[in-house]
Amino acid sequence: MPKSRAKAPRANTPRPSRETKLPLPTASEAAFERLLARFDEESDAPADDIGPIEIIAPSDGTAAFLDELFAKKDAYLVRDRFATIGEADDFYTKIVGVSFEGRQDIVAGLVPGNPLELERQAENPHDSNAIAVRYGTLQLGFLRREIARRLAPNIDGGDAYTATVGSITGGGDRNVGVNIHVRRRRAAAVPARAAALHPAAPAEGIRAALIGERPLREAQRDVLARLGAGRNTLAIFGTGRGKSLCFQLPAAERARDRGEKTLVFYPLRALANDQYYALSKRLEAFGLRILRANGAIDGGERSMLEAALEDGSWDIILSTPEFATYHREAFERPCNRPQLVVVDEAHHVHESRHRAAYGSLGALVRGLGAQVLALTATANDDAFRTIREALGIEAWVIDPTVRENLHVVDARNTADKHRYLLRELEGDGKAIVYCNSRSEATKIAERLRMQLGSAVAFYHAGVPSAERALVEGLFRQGAVRIVVATSAFGEGVDLPDVRDVVLYHLNFDFTEFNQMAGRAGRDGIDARIHLLYGEGDRRINDFIIAHGAPSLAVLRELYRGMRGLISGDVLRMSHEDIARTLDLQMVDGTTIGAAVRIFAEGGLVDAGTDDDGRFVRFLEVAGKVDLTQTTRYAECQAEREAFERFCGLALGADAATLEQIVNRPIYPDRVPLRGSVD
């Protein structure tokens, strides 16, 4: 790449008047503003394919931006529950200030569904970010400051927000509160059924948003042709060969053009969540209604999902099999019946038949009467036969490509990981170092930066979206050479020239392992996958899983302990405070949160947030409740199972075996690469 680049243009902002005495920006601030101005000019491009960002020379911008990034590293690690609300298209919150100025009589007369207006009050003397909530000419109150601070820039940039009354709380001896559902209409968005994002190329708009200008591979074209012909289709592709596009493109185009729905199954919540964030970001400009459905979504998101399933106001739902199985009746209603069902990682239909949801998945799919697309990188003779029989597969496409340019470097259990990184990542090639936590990614990047300078950046979900996009842009252009990241640097980051991928910590399942490793060498040139994890990482992952996936014994103990803390029938404590008070082994706030969701789904408690904060209300229950039949419990057990199976190979297999898992698909013998059942 060139050693220097043209400077990005200055932001086109009004010059202050002579009377305005503003301090000059620091070099860091000025450089970051120039980068951000360039990013804003490219904002119509999807964040996962932001195009040819013009990066200024390291001496005049890139280094300054990275200085700013690292200076704010601690702030990015703070778990702020409002940190990403500025990126959300829907969320639930409550109005603050409804007890002032005689507003109680007004709000007491509201009913769910009443339309509300959000009014930006830039001249508010108490808060320049203030956003008032109005019912007609009546002001009810405000959005809380933490939310308004993140929404105000969006409104100033042209986005519009509306709201409706969700529920009324309190009454009697308590003040009345109002929970509201806020919706965002982005300035660049088009109606959900608009002909296209780009009028000049209506058929190419969605495809360009998903993969840019790259042509489809032959195998992808063959899959899409079989879907277009109405056939139930199985695609067996190796990692990094474009399986996801085979469902993303038809799902989005069918929703846009014909109003058809697609239901996508993933074996694990984490996989569905990764795809949800990536797909939402890529397709946000098309107005598609993309939702996720699993046992871990919070109350606001669950309410939004329930509302969508009431009237069919969704286009794509990314679900675990457990969730769809337990909510089968909802998906069988005419307004919710999908026209396309996608089973990703379809080998689980064969390998996980003892999971109740997979055992009945074939019956569920047949009951929905939808066309089927199954996707996998692993289908031997037995799996191929099982998938075909269970899902009614009529045609298949096998891409036998072996990515011979990928080479696994076995550095498991290396004592000095930092020294290893410095030695192996010196040179000019791009590298991604994957870590399991935000704090570790930040710490490792900071240590590398001390010796490698502005070649290094970090990336995780706590970093604001604009900064994340800039890091990716710098990495694409080569101004940053090494990104230390969590799995947030994942779906949609399809860079051709990554020479090294380092798995610093042990993954949680095969799919994550394959996806991360498969991001190396997509240009066909030699690339390395470094296995830097070790046996000690297994104990860390076991600890994390145990906290988020409580066993039945732990659930029983938590239920008894939490009931002992209630006042009346309600417990009002944060999850962290409950965990500290009960002081049980292997229990923290995450465990309490998982337990509350399981209890709520089992009908043992009612949980939520009202004017007095978070609450758990214990319900009267007749008879015995089987918590193993809840979505969240089943998903937790699936995660345990996936990790145990993964560890056997990831820690025990030799490098050659692991290399084969990454670089080639597993497909049946004596089966044609293109086939159909007449």
Pick the CATH number of 85-185 from 3.40.50.300, 3.40.50.720, 3.30.70.2330, 3.40.50.1820: 3.30.70.2330
406-539+661-676: what fold? Rossmann fold (3.40.50)
pLDDT at 678: 65
The reported pLDDT for the residue numbered 342 is: 97
Cβ–Cβ < 8 Å for 395, 231: yes
Which ranges in the chain are annotated with CATH 3.40.50.300? 205-398, 406-539+661-676
Residue ranges, the chain, pLDDT below 50: 1-59, 188-203
Which alpha helices (H) appear in 266-375, and where do they start and end?
Answer: 269-283, 299-311, 321-326, 328-332, 348-351, 356-359, 361-368
Tokens of residue 317, six digits: 């739902």
Burial of 7 (0-12, 13-18, 19+ CB in 10 A): middle
Angle, CA 129 vertex, CA 118 and CA 47 arms, to 5°: 85
pLDDT of 247 reads: 96
Q: Which amino acid is at 652?
A: G
CB atoms within 10 A of CB 14: 5
CATH 1.10.10.10 location in the chain: 542-638
User: Which tokens is 281 given?
Assistant: 């970001």
Tokens 């020379």 belong to which residue?
Answer: 57
DSSP letter (8 states) at residue 60: G
At 299, is the secondary structure helix, strand, or coil?
A: helix
Q: 412-440 in b/e burial notation, b at 16+ Cβ within 10 A? A: bebeebeebbeebbeeebbbbbbbbebeb
**Would you state the pLDDT for residue 106?**
76
pLDDT value of residue 279: 87
The class of domain 205-398 in CATH terms is alpha beta
Report the length, in residues, of the chain: 678
The CATH fold assigned to 542-638 is Arc Repressor Mutant, subunit A (1.10.10)
Tokens in use for 273? 């969540």
Question: pTM score > 0.95 for this model?
Answer: no
Confidence (pLDDT) at 159: 87
> Which pLDDT belongs to residue 107?
75
DSSP string, 570-629: EE---HHHHHHHH--TT--HHHHHHHHHHHHHTTSEEEEEETTEEEEEEPP--S---GGG
**669 exposed, middle or buried (CB, 10 Å; 0-12, 13-18, 19+)?**
exposed
Where in the chain are all domains bearing CATH 3.30.70.2330?
85-185
Phi, psi dihedrals of residue 119, rounded to the nearest 5°: -115, 120
Give the number of C-alpha atoms closer than 13 A to the C-alpha of residue 651, restricted to the C-beta side: 19
